[in-house]
Amino acid sequence: MPGNYNSGKRIQIPGGILPVPIPYRVLALVQERNYLFQYPIERLARDIKAAGFSCEQCGECCTQHVTRDIFLLDRDVTELEQIDPDSLEPAPHPEFCDQHGTLYTSGYSIRMKGKNPGTCWFLDKNRCRIYDRRCSICRIYPYMLRRMRDPGGKFRWRRVSRPGKHGHCHCDIPDEECRTLAREVKEYENAFLTQQISFLETIQEYFTRHSLVHDHSKYLKGLLRISRGSPVTVRVYDAGELVEYPRNTRVSPGRS
């Protein structure tokens, strides 16, 4: 059944750029994960100590003013499904479309409510309603460990999001807390990359098994339909399977 999701203009339509073949993308992600493994925990802990970030609880990172979407790891989906299944929607940037017009996306995001800017489903009076059970990315934000290209084309590690633009800097964070944060950030980035790799491998296997091919023209039409809030058929990567959205219950092997 086609489902509506993500009405509004949160997705970018990438014009005529054809996707990079899946095996190359998997290789690039595996390499990225290797770089991540090599980044020493102690160095990241020192970076966190030097940043000395302290949250002022303005709530902006829980809105689209700052965060386009809040992507969920598999374990977050399990948790949020118990709290409120309506809080889940397909991540708003599908990556593939088969010849029948079905879109495929690499996971779920938290549903946003309202517009300009939309706010997280769980934000209430500037406070998180599920703070003790909030999802993985919310636990590490604003820290990250991502290689990104600078304007000169060189890769640099980004470790703090929007440095100097929110919260307080140069606060004294105990060493042990810095090390714990560093471990959590690395663990999150590893889980994120692993999920992306697994999604691509699953797509490859699923398309082969069902004689499907990526249809770029249908893909662009699908993105247009999403941006207009029109119904689309979408399958979401969900714990090793590509599950049609909306789904009744989440049943996957290995998860009880």
Minimum CB distance to ligand SF4 smaller for 60 or for 95: 60
Cis amide leading into 21 (omega within 30) = no
Given 51, 61, 97, 236, the residue binding ligand SF4 (CB under 6 A): 61
239: left (phi over 0), alpha (psi -120 to 50) or beta: left
Cis amide leading into 2 (omega within 30) = no
Is position 71 an interface residue for ligand SF4 (rule: CB under 6 A)? Answer: no
Would you give the distance in Å from CA 100 to the centre of its chain? 26
Is position 234 an interface residue for ligand SF4 (rule: CB under 6 A)? Answer: no
| Min dist. Cβ of residue 78 to ligand SF4 (A) | 15
Given 20, 30, 55, 148, the residue binding ligand SF4 (CB under 6 A): 55
Tokens of 209: 């098994």
Distance from C-alpha of 122 to C-alpha of 139, rounded to nearest angstrom: 14
| Min dist. Cβ of residue 85 to ligand SF4 (A) | 15
Minimum CB distance to ligand SF4 smaller for 25 or for 134: 134
Alpha helices (H) along 136-174: 136-140
Stretch that binds ligand SF4, among 6-14, 34-42, 56-64, 208-216 (CB under 6 A): 56-64
Please list every residue from 138 through 157 that binds ligand SF4, using CB under 6 A.
138, 141-142
Distance from C-alpha of 83 to C-alpha of 77, rounded to nearest angstrom: 10
Is position 48 an interface residue for ligand SF4 (rule: CB under 6 A)? Answer: no
Is position 212 an interface residue for ligand SF4 (rule: CB under 6 A)? Answer: no
Minimum CB distance to ligand SF4 smaller for 135 or for 203: 135
Q: What is the DSSP letter of 75?
A: H
Is position 77 an interface residue for ligand SF4 (rule: CB under 6 A)? Answer: no
- Those residues whose C-beta lies under 8 Å from the C-beta of residue 225, and which sit 6 or more positions away, are 231, 232
Stretch that binds ligand SF4, among 93-101, 126-134, 181-189, 231-239 (CB under 6 A): 126-134
Which of 100, 97, 101, 117 has its CA nearest to residue 14? 97
**Residues near ligand SF4 (CB under 6 A):** 55-62, 66, 70, 110, 120, 122-123, 128, 130, 134-135, 138, 141-142, 166-167
